[in-house]
Structure 1
């Protein structure tokens, strides 16, 4: 997937959602201040100077009057949210978007970090206000949490080692009896591996489970698995940063929409949806896409 095809993908989807990203080679990290585990960072709306245009209808957006909003993320899904390997700072598309929402809706943004497997249960129990980590909007998840309007559309691709020559598509991988795929349980890559690549058996021994997406990519690098499924844009980020280690093969496998998640009945859902609409309306999401999916080079 080259830059031209990405831009064309955006143009085809601008009337609905933004097109584009699954996780990072950073299963554990420390913040610059030395905090570890479930750590908190207050990110004021002035943290980043995006230089982005404000919506012409910004005055009509809900005013949350400085209310504290706690957002939980995994910091494991570049370029949506991750820890910059050079600076140790948590950055990404979702950080910039959420900070812009905080500015437009007048709320104080507080970031917490958690693992993916704990995130949906924590949101469903209202331990946090919002979850953001490239979460696919799915009907089964809607039983536990509320989703925002979609802010991004993603397609799945096959990430393999750069020297892989045994297979070049899903059918050839399925026929490779000793081929292993790495995935996180309960994620879109996991279900895509089960139902679109393999035989529909969620207990298939050819699927090796990992706690983080980054751990599965590390396993791919070290020859412990042969395939990892990832969003095409994130996959291109890995390939561009590590062309000697990885490549993408095969065709796109379906598409999915990403949304922020909320406790059921959250009064933040409507304001955030209004904010997302304003970001789409004035081209801010397009600018973020250019910044993070075209201009930014992971690890450089």
Structure 2
């Protein structure tokens, strides 16, 4: 059944562009600055073979730009600066696997969700000391690596540990990639990740990493805009079209089923 659904999605994606684009706005070819971090595979990252940025979000944004008729200027900034920078109109769109929540909505506008993901525990493949949040918390000497201010950080604080955001068992890093390297080298014992990025890192690890336990909760990802942006409605319309015609399903297959990161 899954194979049939995927094939059907790919067939829909191959239908003529005009079949789905007739009602989408035309933005007249204007240039739009889109910012990301390039550190969250397989959504966006730098290809180690070519040095070029690639990923699910790049493919999706490029398709949105084509259908809405605008030019994308991709720019980079750190995760901890991104939301404020978009809020300050330094960039017109942000994409970085950003979880939609009410606190962030006070600063920026979100698109409609383009992806739903769940949080999982990523550990070294030889890890046997714990199998779930409770057994991890009970060990007392284990460490979790995280970026400050991310969904992963808050899930670690409130769903895994004791609710203390200053807990010394949380070791902070500037990038998500740095938390993965710390996990591999044994500097931390756990990294929380959504299922999509986690699968990418497991595939890339050559058997050194694994996901354990069940999902710790679901989260929706959205693109972000400055408050009141006139780009939100067109992008929302394009997202709806890409969901309806199977394009997003084809991207899911490309990046989460077929693509082996690092090969």
- For this structure pair, what is the TM-score category when the shorter chain's length is used for normalisation? over 0.9
Between the aligned partners of 1:212 and 1:197, the Cα distance in structure 2 is 21
Q: Larger helix proportion, structure 1 or 2?
A: 2
**2:170 aligned with 1:207, yes or no?**
yes
Q: State whether residues 157 and 248 of structure 1, in contact with CA within 8 Å, keep that contact through their aligned partners in structure 2.
A: yes
5 Å-filtered alignment, 1:244-255, equals 244-255=207-218
Q: 1:140 to 1:221 in 2, by over 3 A?
A: same
Give the deviation of 1:155 after TM superposition.
Answer: 0.3
Paired position in structure 1 for 2:102: 139
Give the deviation of 1:55 after TM superposition.
Answer: 5.9
What is the TM-score normalised by the length of structure 1? 0.82
Between the aligned partners of 2:206 and 2:198, the Cα distance in structure 1 is 11
Q: Secondary structure at the match of 2:22?
A: helix
**2:66 aligned with 1:66, yes or no?**
no
Q: State whether residues 20 and 245 of structure 2, in contact with CA within 8 Å, keep that contact through their aligned partners in structure 1.
A: no
Between the aligned partners of 2:168 and 2:206, the Cα distance in structure 1 is 29
Paired position in structure 2 for 1:114: 77
Paired position in structure 2 for 1:29: none
Give the deviation of 1:237 after TM superposition.
Answer: 1.5
5 Å-filtered alignment, 1:38-187, equals 54=17, 56-187=19-150
What is the TM-score normalised by the length of structure 2? 0.94
Q: Secondary structure at the match of 1:60?
A: coil
Post-superposition CA distance 1:200-231 (Å, at most 9, x none): 11111100010001111111111111000011
Q: Secondary structure at the match of 2:217?
A: strand
Q: 1:51 to 1:118 in 2, by over 3 A?
A: farther
- Give the CA RMSD over aligned residues: 1.9
Between the aligned partners of 1:55 and 1:207, the Cα distance in structure 2 is 51
Q: State whether residues 54 and 282 of structure 1, in contact with CA within 8 Å, keep that contact through their aligned partners in structure 2.
A: no
Q: Secondary structure at the match of 2:220?
A: strand
Give the deviation of 1:54 after TM superposition.
Answer: 2.6
Paired position in structure 2 for 1:267: 230
Unaligned runs of 5+ residues in structure 1 are 15-49
Give the deviation of 1:92 after TM superposition.
Answer: 0.5
Between the aligned partners of 1:283 and 1:159, the Cα distance in structure 2 is 30
Q: State whether residues 122 and 198 of structure 2, in contact with CA within 8 Å, keep that contact through their aligned partners in structure 1.
A: yes
Unaligned runs of 5+ residues in structure 2 are none
Post-superposition CA distance 1:149-206 (Å, at most 9, x none): 0000010000111111111111100101101000001101100100100011111110
- Runs of 4+ with deviation above 4 angstroms: 50-53
Post-superposition CA distance 1:126-151 (Å, at most 9, x none): 00000000000010000000000000
Between the aligned partners of 2:34 and 2:211, the Cα distance in structure 1 is 32
Give the deviation of 1:51 after TM superposition.
Answer: 6.5
Paired position in structure 2 for 1:30: none
Between the aligned partners of 1:51 and 1:298, the Cα distance in structure 2 is 26
